[in-house]
């Protein structure tokens, strides 16, 4: 939960002069999201989210993220859409930060995942993958396998403070992942951070996706592997095969998975567990004193990684092959 | 900024079954307020604030606070009003906390105080004081002069870590305040925490007051003294006599100040500075490691206290006597 940049009234008023959104009725910082500052902006016209992009977001990537949201919206995916200013620009500056106004998406993110959430997630995820086709911009995944070695090296010296033997466990896993990482799978635009807090529901129906600030070009099945980790484990780290089956079957009802994709799923799930384990480990070891955001437990992803290491094949995820 | 208690979907759904508010459209934690957890709840009917009362609020005081908000609303003061459940109850339990739904107040709190804000504040503050008359419940001010000695004693040993000589400076001031504190001034319901973040504006007009969780019975002029400290000093701690004059004159245009109240104003301002200095000092010295809320600087109030100590009389606040 976080609001990093405080926006003063006059700054807001000046900023909104560039838009055609009516008068401000209310403006409140939202205690969600850990990367950027988000405000709920209510005007006489509608509700919006005003986002100030903080230091973890690369400004050069913003046209990709905002353009993608607009592209997906225009291709039938429910997600926030940038609101252009009077000159047709999506991106402006506010309080020294890049800032954008995006449309407000109704719904609540699920705090306790039920099987029906996983069943509802698969289809729209596949639709998003299909809808990304034709988006003109590209962004390589800056947190894929090539990024993991430097991340591990940055944390290796202190990793054993978190869990004895962690550094050598991760080194061995990374050696394996680097050697085995697939060279060619169906790829395109992926969300790459589709945790439950980025998926909204209303009355058991999925209402849309938010937070595209890790979106990039990568294997579609890698996005699915991220969801397996984020949606199909219980709080005690046990794997819920019912949820996985519902998620995967709902996905492949819309976008069938090739034999190669199915075969790669356990490896991609290990890779996805590695990615979140490494970034959480880094944040755990490097979060500043008095930070407003509590770092997430890296060891949750150690347990998930170990589960996938023991998987014999995609059938262990509940799939009928 | 804070949300201390996370509300799960099912808990929210169960809770809202007791109300007649339509379907939930959105539910977001608000990054404002330091005492309680506040959520913006949007339903098919309207927007509301759902508050979970955290440990600093005494549950036995909640009927006073909620009853006061309803009383003031019914007497022409714009402030959030509790929304009763189907049984007419204002207060329920949610996630093991006392919880209430209150109406949503439009407006923004001013981050940078301009003279017009002070001019706009005085009248409604006086109106609130008058409107409190007839409210049936009483709540003594648990943070008035009698509370300051124990607060100081709890921090005295470590106070000089914050500023050399602070413990003895505060002891001398407290001796003075205890000896000189007025015995009888016009009293009634006061807000007792009317900082800018508790006052909303829209287009330069005050739209209402929020956060009545320090409200109590005390001298009206003490409430005004709190506002002098909270609204009439610049960020560099210099006193802005123009703002003070506007605030005080707007107040007494609605509720004239007696000669006794005017004479007591410098003392009450010292007392008010003392109250916030002591609670901030305590929080500064005792905030838990990794707390989500940054403690506020106690020394801001040391500077304000010293200003009031040098005041010769109420004319130094810009008043024509």
Reported as a single tens digit per residue, the pLDDT across A72-126 is 999 999 999 999 999 999 999 999 999 999 999 999 999 999 999 999 999 999 9
A9-103 CATH fold:
Phosphorylase Kinase; domain 1 (3.30.200)
In chain B, which residues have their Cβ closer than 8 Å to the Cβ of A201?
9
Q: Does B4 touch chain A (CB under 8 A)?
A: no
Rounded to a whole number of angstroms, the distance from the CA of A109 to the nearest CA of chain B is 8
In chain A, which residues have their Cβ closer than 8 Å to the Cβ of B49?
none
Q: What is the distance between the alpha carbons of residues A280 and B93, in angstroms, rounded to a whole number?
A: 35
Among residues A309, A235, A229, which one has the least CA distance to residue A277? A229
Q: pLDDT tens, B214-267?
A: 999 999 999 999 999 999 999 999 999 999 999 999 999 999 999 999 999 999
ipTM for the predicted complex comes to: 0.78
- Please determine, for residue B3, whether its predicted confidence score (pLDDT) is greater than 80: no
Q: Given this model, what pLDDT does residue A169 score?
A: 97
What integer is the mean pLDDT of A152-156?
95
Apex B38 CA angle, B33 and B40, nearest 5: 125
Is there a contact between B29 and A29 if contact means CB atoms under 8 Å apart? no
Q: What is the distance between the alpha carbons of residues A231 and A120, in angstroms, rounded to a whole number?
A: 12
Q: Does B199 touch chain A (CB under 8 A)?
A: no
Q: Given this model, what pLDDT does residue B5 score?
A: 81
Beta-bridge partner residues of A27: A41
In chain B, which residues have their Cβ closer than 8 Å to the Cβ of A294?
290, 292
- Please determine, for residue B288, whether its predicted confidence score (pLDDT) is greater than 80: no
Q: How confident is the model at residue A1 (pLDDT cuts 50, 70, 90)?
A: very low
Q: Does A287 touch chain B (CB under 8 A)?
A: no
Q: Which residues, other chains included, contact A84 with Cβ-Cβ below 8 Å and sequence gap of 6+?
A: A90
Q: Given this model, what pLDDT does residue B2 score?
A: 57
In chain B, which residues have their Cβ closer than 8 Å to the Cβ of A4?
none
Q: Is A128 strand, coil or helix?
A: helix
Q: Does B66 touch chain A (CB under 8 A)?
A: no
Q: Does A295 touch chain B (CB under 8 A)?
A: no
Q: Does A28 touch chain B (CB under 8 A)?
A: yes
* Alpha-carbon Rg for chain B in angstroms: 20
Helices (H), strands (E): how many in chain B?
Answer: 9, 9
Q: How confident is the model at residue A6 (pLDDT cuts 50, 70, 90)?
A: confident
Contact A7, B109 (CB under 8 A): no
What integer is the mean pLDDT of B136-155?
96
- Please determine, for residue A40, whether its predicted confidence score (pLDDT) is greater than 60: yes
Give, rounded to a whole angstrom, the gap between the first and last alpha carbons of chain B.
Answer: 41
Query: For residue B17, with 0-12 CB atoms within 10 Å meaning exposed, 13-18 middle and 19 or more buried, which class applies?
Result: exposed
Q: How confident is the model at residue A277 (pLDDT cuts 50, 70, 90)?
A: very high
Q: What is the distance between the alpha carbons of residues B76 and B62, in angstroms, rounded to a whole number?
A: 21
Q: Given this model, what pLDDT does residue B151 score?
A: 96
Q: Could you tell me the maximum CA-CA distance found in chain A, to the nearest angstrom?
A: 60
- Please determine, for residue B142, whether its predicted confidence score (pLDDT) is greater than 60: yes
Q: Which residues, other chains included, contact B10 with Cβ-Cβ below 8 Å and sequence gap of 6+?
A: A112
Q: pLDDT tens, A201-240?
A: 998 999 999 999 999 999 999 999 999 999 999 999 999 9
Q: What is the distance between the alpha carbons of residues A196 and B25, in angstroms, rounded to a whole number?
A: 17
Q: How confident is the model at residue B291 (pLDDT cuts 50, 70, 90)?
A: low
Q: What is the distance between the alpha carbons of residues A182 and B175, in angstroms, rounded to a whole number?
A: 76
In chain B, which residues have their Cβ closer than 8 Å to the Cβ of A27?
108
Average pLDDT, chain B: 94
Q: Which residues, other chains included, contact A260 with Cβ-Cβ below 8 Å and sequence gap of 6+?
A: A182, A184, A185
- DSSP H helices, A37-107, are 62-74
Q: Given this model, what pLDDT does residue B290 score?
A: 56
- Please determine, for residue A13, whether its predicted confidence score (pLDDT) is greater than 80: yes
- Please determine, for residue A300, whether its predicted confidence score (pLDDT) is greater than 70: yes
Q: Which of B1, B290, B293 best probes binding to A when mutated, by most A CB atoms within 10 angstroms?
A: B1
Share of chain B above pLDDT 90, in %: 87
Q: Cα separations (Å) of B136 from B87, B116, B125?
A: 22, 34, 20
Please report the residues numbered 30 through 49 in chain A whose beta carbons come closer than 8 angstroms to any beta carbon of chain B: 30-32, 40, 42
Beta-carbon neighbour count of residue A140 at 10 Å? Answer: 11
Q: How confident is the model at residue A128 (pLDDT cuts 50, 70, 90)?
A: very high
Is there a contact between B26 and A106 if contact means CB atoms under 8 Å apart? yes
Give, rounded to a whole angstrom, the gap between the first and last alpha carbons of chain A.
Answer: 41
* Alpha-carbon Rg for chain A in angstroms: 20
Contact A220, A261 (CB under 8 A): yes
- For B2, nearest residue in chain A (alpha carbons): A31
- Please determine, for residue B8, whether its predicted confidence score (pLDDT) is greater than 90: no
The token pair at B269 is: 């301002």
Contact B232, B245 (CB under 8 A): no
- Please determine, for residue A291, whether its predicted confidence score (pLDDT) is greater than 60: no
Rounded to a whole number of angstroms, the distance from the CA of A32 to the nearest CA of chain B is 7
Which of B1, B10, B24 is nearest residue A3 as measured by Cβ atoms? Answer: B1
- Please determine, for residue A3, whether its predicted confidence score (pLDDT) is greater than 90: no
Contact B127, B209 (CB under 8 A): no
Q: Does B6 touch chain A (CB under 8 A)?
A: yes
Which of A8, A108, A201 is nearest residue B112 as measured by Cβ atoms? Answer: A8
Contact A8, B112 (CB under 8 A): yes
Q: pLDDT tens, B16-73?
A: 999 999 999 999 999 876 678 999 999 999 999 999 998 888 999 999 999 999 999 9
Q: pLDDT tens, B271-281?
A: 999 999 999 99
Residue indicated by tokens 């034709």? A134
- Please determine, for residue A70, whether its predicted confidence score (pLDDT) is greater than 90: yes
Q: How confident is the model at residue B1 (pLDDT cuts 50, 70, 90)?
A: very low
Q: Which residues, other chains included, contact A126 with Cβ-Cβ below 8 Å and sequence gap of 6+?
A: A250, A251, A252, A253, A254, A255
Q: Give the total residue count for chain A.
A: 321
Beta-carbon neighbour count of residue A150 at 10 Å? Answer: 10
Say if pTM beats, i.e. exceeds, 0.80: yes
Domain boundaries, chain A: 9-103, 115-317
Which of B10, B23, B30 is nearest residue A112 as measured by Cβ atoms? Answer: B10
Among the four given CATH numbers 3.30.160.270, 3.50.50.60, 3.40.50.300, 3.90.1200.10, the one describing domain A115-317:
3.90.1200.10
Which of B10, B27, B31 is nearest residue A3 as measured by Cβ atoms? Answer: B31
Average pLDDT, chain A: 94
**Chains A, B: CB pairs < 8 Å:** 89
Q: Which residues, other chains included, contact B153 with Cβ-Cβ below 8 Å and sequence gap of 6+?
A: none
Is there a contact between A29 and B30 if contact means CB atoms under 8 Å apart? yes
Q: What is the distance between the alpha carbons of residues A231 and A119, in angstroms, rounded to a whole number?
A: 11
Among residues B33, B15, B314, which one has the least CA distance to residue B195? B33
Q: Which of A40, A108, A120 best probes binding to B when mutated, by most B CB atoms within 10 angstroms?
A: A108
Q: Given this model, what pLDDT does residue B289 score?
A: 62
Is there a contact between B3 and A1 if contact means CB atoms under 8 Å apart? yes
């Amino acid at each position: 939960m976080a609001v990093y940049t405080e926006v003063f009234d006059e700054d807001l008023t000046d900023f909104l002069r560039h838009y055609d959104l009516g008068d401000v009725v209310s403006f409140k910082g939202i205690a969600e999201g850990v990367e950027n500052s988000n405000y709920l902006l209510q005007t006489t016209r509608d509700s919006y989210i005003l986002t100030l992009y903080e230091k973890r977001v690369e400004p050069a990537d913003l046209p990709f993220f905002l353009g993608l949201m607009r592209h997906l919206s225009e291709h039938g995916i429910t997600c926030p859409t940038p609101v252009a200013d009077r000159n047709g620009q999506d991106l402006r500056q506010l309080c020294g930060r890049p800032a954008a106004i995006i449309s407000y998406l109704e719904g609540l993110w699920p705090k306790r995942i039920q099987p029906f959430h996983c069943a509802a997630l698969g289809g729209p995820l596949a639709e998003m993958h299909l809808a990304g086709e034709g988006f003109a911009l590209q962004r390589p995944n800056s947190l894929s396998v090539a990024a993991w070695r430097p991340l591990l090296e940055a944390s290796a010296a202190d990793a054993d403070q978190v869990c004895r033997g962690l550094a050598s466990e991760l080194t061995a896993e990374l050696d394996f992942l680097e050697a085995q990482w697939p060279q060619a799978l169906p790829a395109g635009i992926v969300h790459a951070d589709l945790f439950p807090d980025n998926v909204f529901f209303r009355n058991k129906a999925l209402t849309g996706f938010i937070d595209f600030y890790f979106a990039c070009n990568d294997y579609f099945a890698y996005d699915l592997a991220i969801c397996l980790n984020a949606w199909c484990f219980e709080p005690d780290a046990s794997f819920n095969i019912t949820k996985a089956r519902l998620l995967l079957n709902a996905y492949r009802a819309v976008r069938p998975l090739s034999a190669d994709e199915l075969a790669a799923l356990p490896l991609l799930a290990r890779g996805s567990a590695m990615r979140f384990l490494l970034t959480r480990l880094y944040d755990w070891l490097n979060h500043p004193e008095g930070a407003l955001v509590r770092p997430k437990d890296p060891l949750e992803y150690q347990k998930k990684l170990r589960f996938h290491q023991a998987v014999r094949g995609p059938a262990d995820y509940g799939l009928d092959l």
